[in-house]
């Protein structure tokens, strides 16, 4: 008897395929353009992300329904848990819009932003489908809420450590990104259980990634400061609170 269900195997293999596509393309590009920064590499391989999104959708539909991965009615009463991180994201975007309005961006810079928007929308869709959709819900069926959140969050963090193998980041930078991604993954897994709908998580994920990558066209960018000063501490506090509540609820069941 397999330790994993068919859905769990499908979810894990789809995540592995996604990483192979993205890391493979990034690794080839970094070999051709040594010394390029992460955003420059992503701009050159942007086409991989729409392809990956299609591949993920095909595999997802083979083993899951849309509702099973989180395309369900939103629980508006629980959306308050997202409000702190939404306010931080809103502050970031207000700063970016003010800066862009006074920066007189060139046509090329606007094209760069458009390309990054396509890329980050695909990333937000793909990674939420994989980790808060397929992986979280497949483990939720057999292992319960706590294990499902931990597995999806830890795997999300480990997936981001692969940027070192792709040549996108040095090992130290990749490990730091993996740690923050793991925190992000745990929080979003907990939020998924609360709000019952994956769409807000996709939108937030895409907008946050786009704000981070906009450093390519902005002279100064407030995102890193917001991330260190407010976003990470806020995510940590919310994660601890929601995890404690989940553990208490699990014990009562």
Q: Do the Cβ atoms of 164 and 27 come closer than 8 Å?
A: no
- Predicted local distance difference test score (pLDDT) of residue 122: 98
Query: Residue 83 pLDDT > 80, yes or no?
Result: yes
Separation of alpha carbons 189 and 78, rounded Å: 14
Residue 15's pLDDT band (cuts 50, 70, 90):
very high
> What percent of the chain stands above pLDDT 90?
58
- Predicted local distance difference test score (pLDDT) of residue 168: 63
In a domain, 157, yes or no: yes
Task: Return the C-alpha torsion angle 71, 195, 200, 77, nearest 10.
Answer: 120
Segment 9-16 shows an average pLDDT of 97
Q: Do the Cβ atoms of 211 and 92 come closer than 8 Å?
A: yes
In this structure, what token pair is assigned to residue 62?
């083979």
- Tell which residue, 67, 193, 43, has the closest CA to residue 118: 43
Domain count of the chain? 1
> What percent of the chain stands above pLDDT 70?
89
- Predicted local distance difference test score (pLDDT) of residue 245: 97
In a domain, 83, yes or no: yes
In a domain, 1, yes or no: no
Mean of pLDDT over the chain: 88
Residue 151's pLDDT band (cuts 50, 70, 90):
very high
- Tell which residue, 217, 213, 225, 24, has the closest CA to residue 121: 213
In a domain, 227, yes or no: yes
In this structure, what token pair is assigned to residue 92?
């970031």
- Predicted local distance difference test score (pLDDT) of residue 1: 54
In a domain, 208, yes or no: yes
In a domain, 211, yes or no: yes
In a domain, 138, yes or no: yes
- Predicted local distance difference test score (pLDDT) of residue 228: 55
Query: Residue 16 pLDDT > 70, yes or no?
Result: yes
- Predicted local distance difference test score (pLDDT) of residue 229: 65
In a domain, 243, yes or no: yes
CA angle 58, 190, 232 (to 5 degrees): 105
CA 48 to chain centre: 16
Q: 106 or 228: which carries more pLDDT confidence?
A: 106
Residues spanned by the domain of 228: 6-252
List the single range of 20-29, 67-76, 217-226 with lowest mean pLDDT: 217-226
């Amino acid at each position: 008897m397999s330790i994993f269900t068919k859905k769990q195997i499908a979810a894990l293999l789809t995540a592995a395929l996604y990483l192979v596509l993205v890391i493979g393309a990034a690794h080839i590009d970094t070999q051709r353009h040594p010394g390029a920064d992460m955003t420059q590499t992503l701009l050159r391989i942007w086409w991989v992300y729409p392809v990956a999104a299609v591949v993920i959708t095909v595999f997802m539909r083979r083993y899951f329904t849309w509702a099973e991965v989180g395309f369900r009615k939103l629980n508006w009463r629980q959306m308050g848990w997202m409000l702190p991180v939404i306010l931080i994201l809103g502050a970031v975007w207000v700063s970016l819009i003010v800066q862009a309005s006074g920066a007189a961006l060139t046509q090329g810079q606007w094209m760069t932003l458009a390309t990054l928007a396509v890329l980050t929308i695909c990333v937000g869709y793909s990674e939420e489908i994989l980790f808060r959709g397929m992986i979280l819900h497949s483990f939720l069926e057999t292992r319960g809420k706590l294990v499902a959140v931990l597995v999806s969050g830890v795997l999300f963090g480990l997936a981001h450590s692969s940027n070192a193998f792709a040549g996108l980041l040095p090992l130290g930078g990749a490990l730091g990104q993996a740690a923050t991604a793991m925190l992000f993954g745990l929080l979003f897994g907990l939020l998924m259980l609360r709000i019952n709908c994956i769409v807000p998580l996709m939108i937030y994920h895409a907008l946050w990634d786009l704000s981070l990558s906009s450093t390519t066209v902005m002279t100064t960018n407030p995102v890193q400061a917001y991330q260190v000063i407010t976003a990470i501490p806020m995510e940590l506090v919310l994660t601890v609170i929601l995890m404690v509540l989940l553990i208490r609820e699990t014990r009562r069941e």
